[in-house]
Structure 1
Amino acid sequence: MIFLLPSLSFTIGGIALKWNFFNLLLLFSLLFYVKRYHLNISISECKPFFWYFGVLFLFIPIEYELSYSYQLITWFGNVLRYFIVPLAMFSLFKENNVREVIFLNYIVYVCIFVATIYGLFLTQTEGINPYLLLMISDADNLIEYAAPSEDRLFGRISSVFSHPMTFGCFLVVAFFFCLYKIILKKDGCVPIVLLILIISCAMTCGVRSVLAGIMLGLMAFLLFNHKIKYLFYTIVVAGLILFIVFQEDVLYTYVASIFSSSASADVKGSSVEMRLRQLLGCFDIISSNPLFGNGFGWTAYYNQMNGDHPVVLAFESYIFVALCNWGLVGFAVWLLFLWKIYRKCIILAKKKMDEYYLLLSMSIAYVGYICVTGDYAYTMYWSFFYSLMYLDMYYKLR
């Protein structure tokens, strides 16, 4: 459901059922199950996430640009979306349930295969996505956005997801999941085939941030594993590619738009200046409350009510989101949260549970991706793959 349903908005008895309903149902089912079978709810692995959102919850009373009710509902929805599935996975699968974890791995293989094959099929449809037109009532709005253009040969491809950027995030985290399976020589040629499909989609989906995220994660992977020679070769090859790109306007536009918030192809020489202007725009936005920002979910609320901001546009960087929503203190809290994730990954590596630093490399790739694109519920894909890889490593160590 998480990977293959672009929307969950059906009704029963006149009541609209969306992801919050699904996650609440899952939470109540989990509580009933653990009580019935005398299990423990495993929260230790989720502590950094609970800490982060717990601190942001404490900020709500002093963030007065949004109504408290809207902030509380948004906060609660985020907690449900990001934590309930990982919480259920750790609670149900961490004690002698290796078969279920193996089964879950194969379900994910199927999801990756379906998403990537369909994504490659969409390279031939001129921006038309039949599945989204069937599943989402307002999918017509995506057709113009997804259409091929001068700098996007195949347009922006969203595959089975509701937006191309969501598909892009899925490709980034799925890449490191398959890489992990290949390095540990698990499941034969299946992860190799899937990795080839993922790379093919990354090259054709029209979301260049995918390439940037994967490259950043790969460089971190080589660095943490002391493959300095290969890291040097990677940097040299990347440098040569960039040199060639800078000689050709079309290629330059393709790569430079990774860092540009403009949908226009005319981004040459303006991307860094644009990002700096957007950053300064964030400080103007929070001028009335620079320490704690405008409130939980303010950026989403602004986009929904007013469309793009005249300076910061669609807040296409998590840095902008953190500053506008939670101010300078909130941005510092986010950095501390990332530090906690880093420390947890390092501990797992020292225990030889994640000896190749793949959880850390995937997390760095994910953070790099959202720093370029923003975060529109992408965290649930990262947290899912993080949890699944963690459980797989846990049984490998045992």
Structure 2
Amino acid sequence: MEAILGIIIFLIIILSFIKLRIGIAIYLAYLMLVPYMQIHLAGLTFSYNLVNLIILLAFFFEFKVKHNYKINFKPFIPFFILYAGYFILMLFSDGTPFDYMIEKFRQNIMQIFILAFVMWNVIVCTPSSTKLFRNVCFICIFIATIYGLFLTRMEGVNPYIMSVMNITGNEYDIEYLTRDTGRMFGRIASVFLHPMTFGLYLGLSFIFICSYFKKKANTNIYILLILLVITLINVFTCGVRSVIAGLGITGLFYLLLLRKLKAFIWSAVFIGIIYCIISSIPELSDYVMSIGDTKSTNIGGSSLELRINQFSGCFDIINNNFLSGKGFNWHSYYMQLHTSHPQLLYFESLIFVILCDFGLAGTILWIIYSYKMFHYTYNLGKLKQTLFPLSLFIFYLSYSCITGEYGYMQIFILFYIIMIGEIYVTQTSKSQ
């Protein structure tokens, strides 16, 4: 298997210098279907960082040496603000070694932004690339969801991920995945290393597919419908209840964005009634109310009470540095040393991560970042065009606030760039 992955990486590198958009498309598929890159090839070890650097080099060769195209940074301004703020806060934090923070900061920048940045500029200069990237996403969604349905019959066994684990040397945690967790089919990770990542992918994919139903001229409606149905089935069979909650929150925000207040109120009332019914049935309450229980196999107890307790624990952690927190990626550093926190467990909410790592200043920074994202996306085009990119961001936020942030931004930004790329191409074609 490692040899096959090595050949694919070799193709990505070669094609990136010959036909950049083809190399990018293959790399996009690799990131969505292969959860590992530490491949030994021709005496070199190809990791995400090295391949990203090569992709960036191929991009500058194509854009500056061959054609001298203008480089566009606009969609990344909110992200630049966020990460510039991170860097400043790192200088004032006091809980994480500075060299550790710098290394994690570098990894974040390279893994989150390089491919998205290159994709965006390829779309700007070659509008037809949107169709290529979109179709790659559709193919990847189909493969991941079909395999996810196949795994409902496997009782926790995932042959593909087990093969990947054999390469990495990590242990396959079948106890965490099996059906004795109170889930009918156990927890399903499909082509990802963790079920929570698959859950995020399903939610983003669902919104991504929905965004193309009003663009029937570009995509076959029956293909979209099949993809949507398969994805929705996976939402209910993957064993990650946070996806349902995230999509529910996103649906309510979608109605608000459309200014359908009556539908919003009725939907909120319906959800409230369902909540009351579930709360009155102990077995059902234990199952559903444990949304966000990402690590423990035990089902039961009050998740709301647990989360309130964890939230208050964040302030105990940062009591010595309330303003700037413990440092960039402190929560990961802590878990490397201690596995889990006695009160915050695995930092299973983006809110906990922001408070502990960046304190009050980090919270304000995230509010500014979210506002900038909404403002930029909302003004890209008409509301009917920007509804789904906005919904995508809402889902990312809601899902991360329920489950934590485990590298989710890297997946979110790929879908986001393709979706706003479609809007950019449409707006540009109308103005010509």
Q: Under a length normalisation based on structure 2, what TM-score does the superposition of the two structures give?
A: 0.87
Q: Please, which of 265, 274, 277 is the counterpart of residue 241 of structure 1?
A: 274
Matched position secondary structure for 1:287: coil
Question: 5 Å matches for 1:111-130?
Answer: 111-130=140-159
Partner of residue 27, structure 2: none
Which residue does 1:51 correspond to in 2? 81
Corresponding residue for residue 186 of structure 2: 155
Match of 1:318 in 2: 350
Q: Does 1:4 align with 2:33?
A: yes
- Matched letter for residue 249 of structure 2: L
Segment of structure 1 superposing worse, 16-25 or 46-55: 16-25
Shift of the alpha carbon at 1:21? 1.8
Q: Aligned residue for 1:133? A: 162
The whole-number CA distance in structure 2 between the counterparts of 1:275 and 1:261 is 13
Contact 2:176 2:297 in 1 (8 A): no
Q: CA deviation at 1:218?
A: 1.4
Percent identity between matched residues is 34
Q: Secondary structure at the match of 1:168?
A: helix
Q: Which residue in 2 is equivalent to 1:110?
A: 139
Match of 1:209 among 221, 242, 256: 242
Structure 1 unaligned residues grouped into runs of 5+: none
1:165-203 Cα offsets, whole Å, 9 max, x none, are 111111111111111011333412212211111111110
1:271 corresponding residue in structure 2: 303
Letter in 2 for 1:4: L
Q: Which residues in structure 2 correspond to 1:198-347 (within 5 Å)?
A: 198-260=231-293, 263-268=296-301, 270-347=302-379
Alignment of 1:166-177 (within 5 A): 166-177=197-208
- Worse-superposed segment, 154-163 or 236-245: 236-245
| TM-score normalized by the length of structure 1 | 0.94
Question: 1:31-84 CA deviation, whole Å, 9 max, x = no partner?
Answer: 222112211221111110011101111222222322211111100110111111
Residue correspondence of structure 1 range 84-95 to structure 2 within 5 A = 84-95=114-125
Q: After superposing the two structures, state which structure 1 stretch, 305-314 or 289-298, moved more.
A: 289-298
Q: Which runs of 5 or more residues in structure 2 are unaligned?
A: 1-29
Distance 1:355 1:100, change over 3 A: closer
Answer with 365-374 or 20-29: which moved more.
Answer: 20-29
SS at match of 1:141: coil
Q: 1:239 to 1:131 in 2, by over 3 A?
A: same
Determine helix, strand or coil for the equivalent of 1:17: strand
Give 1:15 deviation, angstroms.
Answer: 4.7
Q: Does 1:371 align with 2:401?
A: yes
Kept after mapping to 1: 8 A contact 2:52/2:110: yes
Counterpart Cα distance in 2 of 1:357 and 1:47:
20
* Matched length: 394
Q: How big is each residue's C-alpha offset from its partner over 1:1-55, in whole Å with a ceiling of 9 and x where there is no partner? A: 1100011121235654322222222222212221122112211111100111011
Identify if the C-alpha distance between structure 1 residues 259 and 170 changes in structure 2 by more than 3 Å, giving closer, same or farther: closer
| CA–CA distance in structure 1, aligned partners of residues 131 and 42 of structure 2 | 37
